Amino acid sequence: MPDDPLNPIGRFVTLADVAEILSLSAAEVLALVRSGELPAIRLGSVGQWRVESSVLEAFIADKYDETKRLALWNEAEFADVAELFPEQRRAGQRRTSST
């Protein structure tokens, strides 16, 4: 592990480390990788899977966003689509203000 306090886990993480970080089994993490939900690369002659730290952080952030949207959806009988997908609302505002 590197001495960089801003990134204590290093650039690449093994699937076993990802499993520990996410409190999942190694099989569950491998299933996420194989499905393409968690991007990973194979390195070395044996083809060991590695996940880039920044990709793992983005994956976690996406899961928080997904959970927030699900909670909003369950909170209201007729959820406001713009509230569920704020990034698309901002893009639409930029298009209408530029036209």
State the pLDDT at residue 10: 82
Q: What is the DSSP string of 35-92?
A: HTSS--EEETTTTEEEEEHHHHHHHHHHHHHHHHHHHHHHHSTT--HHHH-HHHHHHH
Residue type, 39: P
Residue type, 27: A
The mean per-residue pLDDT over the stretch 68-97 comes to 67
Structure tokens at 64: 């928080």
Across 2-6, 39-43, 88-92, least confident range: 2-6
Residue type, 26: A
Burial of 8 (0-12, 13-18, 19+ CB in 10 A): exposed
pLDDT (tens digit per residue) in 7-50: 566 889 999 999 999 999 999 999 999 999 999 999 888 889 99
